[in-house]
Amino acid sequence: MIALSLAEITAAVGGKLHLHGPDTPETTVEGVVDTDSRGIGPGGVFVAKPGEVTDGHLFVGKAVDQGAVLALVERVVDEPVTQIVVPDVVVALGELAREAVSRVRASGRLRIVGITGSNGKTTTKNMLAAILREEGETVAPVGSFNNAVGAPLTMLRVTHDTRYLVCEFGADAPGQIARLAGLVSPDVGVVLMVGMAHAGGFGGIDATVRAKSELVSAVRDGGTVVLNADDPRVAGMAPIAEARGLDIRWFGEGGTADVRADGLSVTAAGTDAVVTAGEQSLPLHLQVLGAHHVKNALAAATAAVALGVPLADAVARLETVSLAERWRMQVLGSERVRIINDAYNASPDSMQAALRTLAQITGPDERMVAVLGAMSELGEYAVEEHDKIGLLAVRLRIPRIVVVGQEARALFLAAVAEGSWSDEAVFFADADEAYEYLLGELRDGDRVLVKSSNSAGLRFLGDRLGESFS
């Protein structure tokens, strides 16, 4: 965090200051801000967030041992450290981020990009950060820090030397993107796509569209929105941008896009395409597996061009990205048995894309194996959407479909019904059972996709398989 006095922090978060030791309201704080006491270092600020399992107030002492000089709390804790008491530490964290970013923006050349979408946020964020880091100091989220805690923690990492802040905005309820993006009012807002991810929580696809469009409304006056020309739901957000006089940049595979891709070719070595903007066409080789990641690359390139980066530089830097993120189309194992661990997130759209990628990269003398778990947060749509994935897996002629977990049973039943003349689908109650089965089942030439939502835990199964067949 940039240097702020205790008085300035207290005013920013609307709290009550309780001084300790020699501290005064003018004492300056500029250490790392974190909700995890283990991440605190000398001079740090500990945010004592209450949680479902435990309470951060119980760890203030440990944070002090780690070097914390200030604690944001909801009640005074009997520990030797200055504390600022607020009604809600998560809200206070956001307000502290707002203040820090506002000061950096006012004193320097900071440009801010916000990214949202049902799928692809983290991959696009990493791609864009890879482009922008060559231009100047860039701050981007670690992993998927995109919620009410993670986004402000990322924002608080800016310094007066930061040139670019890339924010990822997720949401599990209407209004969340508006609140998070409203903390920083991005110069550029990127909307990737709208799908069924979280549709259960939002109450349907129309509500999801409205939630994602909150980013367009949050872009600062005179800013730019980057929209997916191939997604009608995203394209339908253009009138919001037009009404505000924002610049609109389109990406996609259609001829109307400002930055578009043609001639896609997917192999086990990556994805090739030709990227065109205006009169300029450039070959692109993405190391990241999957044709769907070309769309993410186009979004990153379009945002970068909007910030003044030459297209040729953006494309060259995209080619250096070897991994979207851990557990996202991560290639493990060996040439003998290749494991593709894509089990950090799953939605109907990303599940379909991953299965199609598996079919595209598997050679004629190799065997496809799909290890599939539940897609979370689909609500009333869960059975229908799992059913569709089971049907797709069989229609893609995947000869071994391993379904794990009771929440994914509908997927298994659909696969059995669609391919009942054979035994391609098997079901296991948990990952340990599936692991023991796969140790004996997998053979030379297998290409194995492990795909599920984070909550299903199959990412760890993918890691175990990757190690076993390395």
Interval 168-203: pLDDT, tens = 998 878 899 999 999 999 999 999 999 865 555 566
| Whether pLDDT at 59 is above 90 | yes
Q: Which pLDDT value is given to residue 173?
A: 81
| pLDDT more than 70, % of the chain | 98
Scan for tokens 């799992």, then name that residue.
386
The answer to whether the beta carbons of residues 33 and 19 sit under 8 Å apart is no
Q: Which pLDDT value is given to residue 289?
A: 87
| Whether pLDDT at 235 is above 90 | yes
- Banded model confidence at residue 46, pLDDT cuts 50, 70, 90: very high
Does 28 appear as a known binding residue?
no
Q: Are 309 and 337 members of one domain?
A: no
CATH code, domain with 264: 3.40.1190.10
Query: What is the residue-averaged pLDDT of the chain?
Result: 93
Q: Are 307 and 342 members of one domain?
A: no
Residue 325 lies in a domain: no
| Whether pLDDT at 55 is above 70 | yes
Q: Which pLDDT value is given to residue 192?
A: 97
Residue 103 lies in a domain: no
Q: Are 81 and 191 members of one domain?
A: no
Alpha helices in 331-456 (DSSP H): 348-361, 382-395, 409-418, 431-441
The answer to whether the beta carbons of residues 448 and 337 sit under 8 Å apart is yes
- Count CB-CB contacts under 10 A for residue 182: 16
β-strand pairing of 280-286 with 270-277: antiparallel
Which of 262, 292, 318 is the last residue in one of the domains? 318
Range of the domain at 422: 330-468
Residue 50 lies in a domain: yes
Does 118 appear as a known binding residue?
yes
Does 117 appear as a known binding residue?
yes
Q: Which pLDDT value is given to residue 421?
A: 54
Q: Which pLDDT value is given to residue 339?
A: 96
Instruction: Name the domain count of the chain.
Output: 3
- Count CB-CB contacts under 10 A for residue 409: 17
Does 420 appear as a known binding residue?
no
Q: Are 302 and 228 members of one domain?
A: yes
Q: Are 194 and 301 members of one domain?
A: yes
Does 126 appear as a known binding residue?
no
Q: What is the helix, strand, coil percentage profile of the chain, to 5?
A: 40, 25, 40
User: Taking Cα atoms as reference points, which of 59, 6, 17, 16 lies closest to residue 34?
Assistant: 59
Structure tokens at 458: 């199959």
Residue 461 lies in a domain: yes
Q: Which pLDDT value is given to residue 172?
A: 77
Q: Are 144 and 264 members of one domain?
A: yes
Residue 68 lies in a domain: yes
CATH code, domain with 384: 3.90.190.20
Q: Which pLDDT value is given to residue 329?
A: 86
Q: Are 351 and 434 members of one domain?
A: yes
CATH code, domain with 52: 3.40.1390.10
Helix and strand counts by DSSP (H, E) for the chain = 17, 22
Residue 100 lies in a domain: no
Which of 267, 293, 318 is the last residue in one of the domains? 318
Torsion of CA 69, 73, 78, 80, to 10 degrees: 10
User: Residue 8 phi/psi, 5° resolution?
Assistant: -65, -40
Does 224 appear as a known binding residue?
no
- Banded model confidence at residue 210, pLDDT cuts 50, 70, 90: very high
For the segment 409-437, the average pLDDT, to the nearest whole number, is 88
- Banded model confidence at residue 144, pLDDT cuts 50, 70, 90: confident
- Rounded Cα distance between 206 and 108, Å, is 39
For the segment 47-63, the average pLDDT, to the nearest whole number, is 93
- Rounded Cα distance between 304 and 313, Å, is 9
Q: What is the pLDDT of residues 106-117, one digit of tens each?
A: 988 999 999 999
- Rounded Cα distance between 330 and 342, Å, is 6
For the segment 297-314, the average pLDDT, to the nearest whole number, is 98
Cα 181 to Cα 101, 178, 204, 296: the distances in Å are 12, 5, 22, 20
Q: Which pLDDT value is given to residue 432?
A: 96
Q: What is the pLDDT of residues 18-27, one digit of tens each?
A: 999 999 999 9
Q: Are 263 and 307 members of one domain?
A: yes
Q: Which pLDDT value is given to residue 423?
A: 73
Q: Which pLDDT value is given to residue 200?
A: 56
Instruction: Tell me which of 142-151, 247-256, 282-291, 388-397 is least confident.
Output: 142-151
Does 120 appear as a known binding residue?
yes
pTM for this prediction: 0.88
More confident residue, 352 or 424: 352
Residue 12 lies in a domain: yes
- Rounded Cα distance between 71 and 65, Å, is 12
Q: Are 352 and 388 members of one domain?
A: yes
Q: Are 343 and 432 members of one domain?
A: yes
For the segment 447-457, the average pLDDT, to the nearest whole number, is 93
Residue 424 lies in a domain: yes
Q: Which pLDDT value is given to residue 37?
A: 94
Which of 318, 348, 374 is the last residue in one of the domains? 318
| Whether pLDDT at 84 is above 90 | yes
Q: What is the pLDDT of residues 345-391, one digit of tens each?
A: 888 999 999 999 999 999 999 999 999 999 988 888 899 999 999 99
Q: Are 25 and 72 members of one domain?
A: yes
| Whether pLDDT at 247 is above 90 | yes
Q: Are 71 and 161 members of one domain?
A: no
Q: Which pLDDT value is given to residue 183?
A: 98
